[in-house]
Chains A and B, each alone.
Chain A
Amino acid sequence: MELNQYQKDIFEKQKPVIETYGKKTWGWTIFFLLWILVGGYALYLQVADGHIVTGMRDNVVWGLYIANFIFFIGISYAGAVISGLLHILHVEWRKPIIRIAEIITVIATMIGPVFILLCVGRLDRLHHLFLYPRLQSPITWDVLAITTYFTGSVIFLYLALIKDFAIYRDAKLNIPKWKQKLYSILAIGYRGTPSQKRHIKISTDLMAIMIIPLAIIVHSVLSWIFGMTLRPGWHSSIFGPYFVLAAIYSGTGVLIMAMWVYRKMYKLNSLLTDQHFVYLGYIMMVLGAAYGYFTFSEYLTAWFGSAKWDNEVIEKLFTLEYYGGWFLFTNIAGILLPILVVAIPFTRKPGLITIASFFMVIALWVKRYLIIVPTLESTLLPMQDTRPEYIKYSATWVEWALTFAGIATFFLLFTLLSKFVTIIPISEFGDKEKTAAGTTASVKEN
């Protein structure tokens, strides 16, 4: 594999990252593993004692786990949109950030469904979902959609990695033999011939086109699990696009945060520039406005209609004694803050955009919780069992431990992958050469 000067420079900058596994990385790895271990113990308790150790009861049968599931599937949109859409539109500035986006997609799609497994009982019947699927059930659609989406995301990420694997294979890296061998296998004999380039291009173009509708279908199907039930706060025709939009929105936020961390950690300021943050900030602002519009439309319709059951949920969301504070937080931190931070030139800076993204992502997680729990606490029939824990859901430490274990797994897998592949793709810059002024210029690929 021949590299141009610009590619060599980028590679040199990132070589130490994949060649070494420093003390700091080990420290973080152990930290994440400890969290996962705590989660493992919580899981053991849940398996041994049953779901009684969670806060879920007869009425509120979904809680933190389902909120986490929607959240993780949501952030997986980062790769689908940034990578897929910007690839189709041939947007040049996408190149340094697509790898991060695609990794987020794959890892988040892996972790999200695990929370479903934590939520359901009788895991011994799990295979029945595949052996006896019921085509009319949104659950079946969801299983198939997520499986297909995950497969597509892995293929998409792999396609983008093949050229880089070939680069790692041909470079004299100071790495163990097994790793060198693995690079060689994963490069599947890519040598950069015109014919091989064409195969990659056809495949990548196909996947870029596929991944966007796939992502939309996945999150629409996810929303229909709620939307197709006749429950207040769920039964809504705009839930599909509302979920899709919220997913892209939170995915963009997580991408911005990941970019900031890597830029800081590996001093990649020249590659992950301020401009990248501003561009993604603009995307986030537009999505934030659209998300705000959907939120307003959804709750205005329910509030204005004043249907008995809808009102009960709306009351809970609008009253400070119930969930009013959190609902306010989701609207301020989830809608207003990102829009204002990006809209005002003075605050349009990487650090502040990242902080706004952080709060927005938290707010959107809370929003998922508010979609699930208040509705389930508003039963259509009078409750038979009126013990406090049956009336009001309160997550237990077991659920929190497994939630943090999920987050820790996300970070751990991200860390491991970033030590295996370069976070900034090398091969993407095959059409660039470094100019005398130190800036880059595009040249035509042969």
Chain B
Amino acid sequence: MLPEKILFMKNILTYTLNKVKAGNLLTYSLVVPLVLLFATGVQAQADSTSPAATEMVAAATSELIAPSLELIPVQKADRTIDCKVKMQAKVKGVFYKLPLLKVNIVHVTPAGEMNLGHAITDRNGRAVINVKGDPLVADAEGKVLLKAIYAGNKQMEPADAEVAVKRALLTVNPVVVDSVYTIQARLVDISTGLETPIPEAALGLFVKRSFFPLKIGEGTTDAAGEASIEVPAHLPGDAKHNITLIARLDENELYGNLEAAVEQPWGTTVSDANIIAPRALWSTRPPLWMVITFSILVTIVWGHYIVIIYELIRLRKEEPHNTPEIS
């Protein structure tokens, strides 16, 4: 166990040094000695796939935790696949997101399993691995089989998830039709190596926002696998009017999820100029009367302190010598 403890201590020291460099010396000079004092008593995590975060969950139960692993492949327009994984565990009725766990993605073929890579889950228990789609081998039904595997650790059972999807390609073409911004999407099946249009598929059009994409339209593909979706005017964009438009096919029975994005200067500009906020309670600038009152009060009080300290300095200077001692 010794190397893990040393590693744990090293991590704390590195973290501290970074914070000290960032100017948080005061806080960390107080907190870190305390942490270091007890660090030797902390059970450091034995393997890299079972970090401290899982202990929190483990503490809630004395039994092995049975995590749930979810795998969602998203086929992109550049013919790659985003393998999105999510790990969580339900302990005593409460769901815990499981961070810092190593998840492997493998491609299952008739010849055996091929490792495509691994990723570590983030604080929300999520991780994404991007793999090239073209080298993947399809089965007899034309589907590629992907599998996410978590090996387990001392506190958690192993877990895995399998998903089989047919290869497809979604592409978008931004056009302006009669002064109306339009996204022309095309959806084709590429599982056979040829591009076969997919008709009657419901596509959604989204615009990228700060947190999650916002749905702004939808359409259904025709016999040619094409759909035209209008983009509303006056969507807030960046300083250069740019907005990112995303066409999506969600949770299709055969193809799973597909996504294609394009950036277009079709939005209205949102100024990035610094506007001086008004003086108000809610604003970043306090009301003037508050600043004045505050300044007067602070000056009066601390001014008195300074006067007193000055008086004490004068007192010190006026010390006479050869005074008798108390008998």
The answer to whether A and B come from one shared complex is yes
Q: Indicate if A446 sits at the interface (CB-CB under 8 A).
A: no
Interface bits A168-210 vs B (CB < 8 Å: 1, else 0): 0011100000000000000011111101100110110011001
B-facing residues in A8-63 (Cβ within 8 Å)? 40, 43-44, 47-49
Contacts A124-B24, A124-B28, A127-B26; is A44 near B34 (CB within 8 Å)?
A: yes
Q: Tell me, rounded to whole Å, the shortest Cβ–Cβ distance linking A184 to chain B.
A: 11
Instruction: Tell me the interface secondary structure of chain B in the complex.
Output: helix
Contact among B23, B27, B301, B311 with A148 in the assembled complex (CB-CB below 8 Å): B301
Do A48 and B42 touch (CB < 8 A)? Answer: yes
A172–B324 CA distance with the chains assembled, in angstroms: 12
B28 CB, nearest partner CB in chain A, Å: 7
Given contacts A136-B281, A203-B312, contact A191 B56 (CB under 8 A): no
Q: Is A320 among interface residues, defined by CB-CB distance under 8 A? A: no
**Among the listed A3, A44, A202, which residue makes an inter-chain contact with B311, where contact means beta carbons less than 8 Å apart?**
A202
B-facing residues in A148-163 (Cβ within 8 Å): 148, 151-152, 155, 159, 162
**Which residues of chain B come closer than 8 Å to A395, judged between CB atoms?**
none
The number of chain B residues touching the other chain, given as a range, is 35 or more
CA distance A190 to B316 in the complex (A): 7
B288 to chain A, nearest CB (A): 11
Q: Shortest Cβ distance from A144 into chain B, in angstroms? A: 7
- Assuming the A-B contacts A135-B286, A135-B294, A188-B316, are A44 and B301 also in contact, with contact meaning beta carbons closer than 8 angstroms in the complex? no
Q: Is the CB of B301 within 8 A of A171?
A: no
CB of B9, distance to nearest CB on chain A (Å): 14
The answer to whether the Cβ of A247 comes within 8 Å of any Cβ in the partner chain is: no
A157 to chain B, nearest CB (A): 13
* In contact, A123 and B315 (Cβ under 8 angstroms): no
Pick from B34, B287, B318: contact of A196, CB below 8 A: B318
Partner of B312 from A2, A124, A199 at Cβ < 8 Å: A199
CB distance from B14 to the nearest CB of A (A): 15
A3 to chain B, nearest CB (A): 6
Docked CA distance A167–B323 (Å) = 12
Please tell me if the beta carbons of B326 and A155 are within 8 angstroms of each other in the complex. Answer: no
**CB <8 Å contact, A207 and B308:** yes
Indicate whether A214 reaches chain B with its CB closer than 8 angstroms: yes
- By beta carbon, the residue of chain B nearest A135 is B286
Q: Which residue of chain B lies nearest to A210 when distances are taken between CB atoms in the complex? A: B304
Chain A: number of interface residues, binned into ranges: 35 or more
Chain B residue contacts of A383, Cβ below 8 A: none
Q: Which of B269-314 contact A (CB under 8 A)?
A: 281-282, 284, 286-287, 290-291, 294, 297-298, 301-302, 304-305, 307-309, 311-312, 314
A43–B311 touching, CB < 8 Å: no
Question: Which residues does chain A contribute within 8 Å of B7, judged by CB atoms?
Answer: none
B326: chain A residues at CB < 8 Å are: 1-3, 167, 170-172
Bitwise, B10-25 to A at CB < 8 A (1) or not (0) is 0000000001000110
On whether the beta carbons of B320 and A191 are closer than 8 Å, the reply is: yes
Shortest distance in angstroms between A67's beta carbon and chain B's nearest beta carbon? 24
User: Within 8 Å of chain A (Cβ to Cβ): is B35?
Assistant: yes
CA distance A171 to B326 in the complex (A): 5
A380 within 8 A of B: no
With known contacts A199-B311, A199-B315, A206-B308, A172–B325 Cβ distance under 8 A: yes
- With most chain B CB atoms within 10 A of its CB, the pick from A134, A162, A199, A206 is A199
B211 lies within 8 A of chain A by Cβ: no
- Given the complex, which residues of A lie within 8 Å of B308, measured CB to CB? 155, 159, 203, 206-207
Docked CA distance A300–B319 (Å) = 61
Question: With a CB–CB cut-off of 8 A, which chain B residues contact A88?
Answer: none
Distance in angstroms between the alpha carbons of A152 and B305 in the assembled complex: 7
A124 touches B27 (CB 8 A): yes
CA distance A135 to B284 in the complex (A): 9
User: Closest A-chain residue to B26, C-beta based?
Assistant: A127
- B39 (CB) vs chain A CBs: closest residue: A48
Interface, chain B (partner A; CB < 8 A): 19, 23-24, 26-28, 31, 34-35, 37-38, 42, 56, 59, 281-282, 284, 286-287, 290-291, 294, 297-298, 301-302, 304-305, 307-309, 311-312, 314-320, 323-326
Beyond A2-B326, A135-B290, A207-B304, 9 extra complex contacts between A and B, CB < 8 Å: A1-B323, A2-B324, A40-B34, A136-B282, A136-B286, A193-B318, A199-B318, A203-B307, A203-B312
Q: Please list 26 pairs of residues, one from A and one from B, whose beta carbons are closer than 8 Å in the complex, sorted by A's number.
A: A2-B326, A3-B326, A44-B34, A44-B38, A47-B31, A48-B38, A124-B28, A124-B31, A126-B26, A126-B27, A127-B26, A135-B294, A144-B298, A148-B302, A155-B308, A162-B312, A171-B325, A188-B316, A190-B319, A195-B318, A199-B314, A200-B315, A203-B311, A203-B312, A206-B307, A214-B301
